Every structure is written in structure tokens, then in C-alpha cells.
Structure 1
């Protein structure tokens, strides 16, 4: 199962639970998120990742939230994996996926000479909106680092229509750094014409790439900083 821009869908499957989360997932090395090193992560079923603790929030808020948590949110909305869909998480420290993400990051951030030594992939695969509607939405959050530079990719597959609001992007404690993917909290977020799926900041429709360490918050593509 590997349809561009998605990376392979594999790994541990999280529990079937509304507003649930994965257990704490230990990382083999720290992930530098805007100067804060993290050695664990949680995959929250409502479309976001957190570091300090699991988070059950299903009501998306616009970034910047000026809150107390670091969050990576590829598709924050009210999801429900009890009836259909699976939520996967997996990490690698060697193999072909490290080569693939290395090539991708160097294509988008060509000045850094990046060589990945770790990749973490969380995939929400054909997950329904609450309450178990039978709709099927697929997206990913991909984290990678070489110990110095850190990046997040957000990849979008098929996105079912819904009247629910969706926030996509990331935020930090007190919102010193934050990104909203265009279309967040709008009618253009979901359905076959979802702006997340059709657009990109790296010229790959359905993929968005961000640098999330001490450096710049995005990348320069066609002379435009994103």
C-alpha cells in the first residue's frame, strides 16, 4: 500500500477507541522540536501528535493557540476508528525508507546536505469521522532527523467530505512557532477538492514539508519561503 505522496502504510496498529491515543512511544534518539528535545511521542486518534502526554481533543482550534503544548496536527478533527480504519505507527533507523526520506528532504531543502538516521511514520488509514460514519480518510505525519535538523512531512491520500472543521499544521508552547496549512478550518479542507490533497509547498500535490528544529520554519520553494 504505497500511493504517492504517501509513504508505505505499516507498523503497529493503535487500539480501536474513540478519542483514544497510542501508548507512549519511545524514540531511539531525541527529536528536536524547535529547541525542545523529545524522547517519546503519542499518536492521538483525532489526527494529531503530542509529546508530553496523550491528548484526546477532537475540537480543532486555530493556530496559534498560545497554549501549553507542542503539537503536530496533520488533520485535527473528530475521528473515530472503532468501525472502520486503522491508525498505524512505525519507526526505522535503517533501510530503504531512510534513503527515500533523505532524498525527499534534500530535494526540498537542498542547502542542508541532510542524511536521515531516523524516521517515524504515523498513518491514519481510511479512518471515519465521528460517529462511525463509514467515511474513509487517509493521511500521514512523517518525522525525521539526523540529530541536528528535524523535519515534518504531512502526506494526504483520499479525504472524505464532512461538515466538520479541520485544522492542519503545527503549533508550539506559547506559539513561538506555528504553521497553518492553507484551507484549515474552511470548507476547502475536505472532500475530493481538499486543498491539503491538491496543493503543496514542495510541488508534490498532497505533501507539505516543514523544518521544525532551531532553524527556519519552512523551506524556500521557487523563491518563496513556506
Structure 2
């Protein structure tokens, strides 16, 4: 009998179980941030960027900070029930923790754009650590922080998270940092989406209000609470890892037909995307045969 071993190359995500410490970039009044105080879910702030940011091939000179935990580029958004990712919509969206947030009673949203100083040094070091083949030097960093905000109609739900956009004018990166995240009774989504969902990513467990407190322990760069993506669209934003998937078949003819192989690969891809991998993940099939007497 022959055992067919399929090795599939995918973009892997790591889930960590160690504590989160000090991953936020400087924020708040001590850092010189602009405070963005609004009423419940009707608040969106327009920011004209000093340096344009490229997001999957589209260059933006402005951004909207929406109080419900997400950023948009073309239009403000007061939507408090998040679109499920992928949404196949008409707007590029960064959904750090998109849910119904009320900052009228508790918490603060602040932001700052840096073009000089130690924050650029920090960003340069971070990106070169996560993408060592790029020799990257940050020229602009935009930081938005939701600090101890609460969910609408639910007191005692202090939640903190942060978006960091990093660019050198050519390459662009997205960092999402999670601090203490309260369990949410509301619908929630975390990740990013693009126009027509040509690229999107749903952070695992970020669409489940009962488990989002685990976000402070999860990561794709071995830094608890931090998720990092390359988002200029010129290259895959995550590093490739080979993961083994073992299948036993009675006869090789089960997979000999091209149609059967394509069907199996498509089903595997659908499941991986459902679990949070990007929709543009590529699966490569390699067959290894071991013949037993």
C-alpha cells in the first residue's frame, strides 16, 4: 500500500500563550498626541497625511479615524455593526477592533504622525526585525490609539488597542497592537479588507466577542499582542513556512485525476481562509511516495 504525503506551503500564523508587555508605541498627551474626543459612534476625524500611505496599490493622502475601532481612507464611517471580512465592499478598511464603541463616558482616542525622531527609529528597528531581507528605513509613522475605551451600553469593559502605519514612501506596513481587551457582547471584527476584498485578513478569534480577550496573547511575529503585515501590495506580507498535511488513501488513483487534486486543494484553501489566512494564500502540492512491503 502506498501512503501519499502532501506538504502544503502556506503563510502561517502563530498563537502565543505568554504575557503581553509594553508593545504600544508612545501615545496620549505625554507623547503630544492630538486627542479625538467624540460622542458615541458618530465620531470620525479626518487627518491629512504629511506623507502618503500606499495600501495595496492605492496611494492615500488622507485617513479617517472612526471611533468604532476602524480606519478608512476615502470616506468617514459611523458604522457600528462591523462588516464581516471579507466584505467585497467599496472601501479599504483597517479594522483594528471594529465594534460598537462609546467614548462619551470613558476612554480616549488619540493620534499623531511622525516624520522625525525616536519613533521612526523604533519603527525602523521593528520592521527590519520582522522583515530582515528589506533593509528598511522608516520615513513616516502614523499612530492611532484607542485607550481604555468601552463598548456601547456596557460599563466596565475598558479596552485598549493601537494601529501603527509605517512607510518609507514606497513600502508600507501595518502594525496592530492589543492591550487589555474586554469580552464583548457586540459583534466585532479585527484585521483589514480592501476594495472588492482582493486582499483581506481576519485575525483569528477577533470575530468572536467571547474570545477577543485572547488577542493580547496572539501574534504572527512572536510578540504577544502584536500583528504585523506588509500592505503596499508589492509582495506577500507574511513569511512562508512549510506545514505538513498527511493524508492516507487506499489507492493513488484517488488523487491521480487533476480534477480531484484541484477539488481537494480548493477545499483545504477554503478551510484555511475560514480560519483566518489571507484569501490570496497560495497552496503548493508536493507528493512523496513511500512504498511499504
Question: Does the CA-based 8 Å contact 1:81-1:132 persist in structure 2?
Answer: no
Q: Deviations over 1:135-165 (max 9, x none)?
A: 2100000001001100000000111122222
Tell me the equivalent position of 2:224.
Answer: 205
Is contact 1:13-1:89 (8 Å) kept? yes
1:1-226 superposed matches below 5 A: 4-10=22-28, 11-131=33-153, 133-187=155-209, 189-191=211-213, 194=214, 196-220=215-239
How many residues were matched structurally?
221
Q: Which has the higher contact order (CA 8 A, sep 6+)?
A: 2
Structure of larger gyration radius: 2
Name segments (4+ residues, structure 1) moved above 3 Å. 221-226
Unaligned runs of 5+ in 1: none
Residue pair 1:153, 1:207 contacting (<8 A) in 2 also: yes
Q: Give secondary structure in 1 for the equivalent of 2:51.
A: strand
Q: Which runs of 5+ in 2 are unaligned?
A: 1-20, 244-276, 279-293
TM-score, normalised on structure 1?
0.92
Residue aligned with 2:228, SS: strand
TM-score (norm 2): 0.72
Q: Does the 8 Å contact 1:138/1:158 carry over to 2?
A: yes
Structure (1 or 2) with the greater helix fraction: 2
Checking the alignment, whether the CA contact within 8 Å between 1:177 and 1:217 is kept in structure 2 is no
**Range with bigger deviation, 84-93 or 163-172:** 163-172
Q: What is the CA–CA distance in structure 2 between the aligned matches of 1:202 and 1:223, rounded to whole Å?
A: 16
> Over aligned residues, Cα RMSD in angstroms?
1.8
SS for the counterpart of 1:23 is strand
Deviates more, 1:179-188 or 1:120-129: 179-188
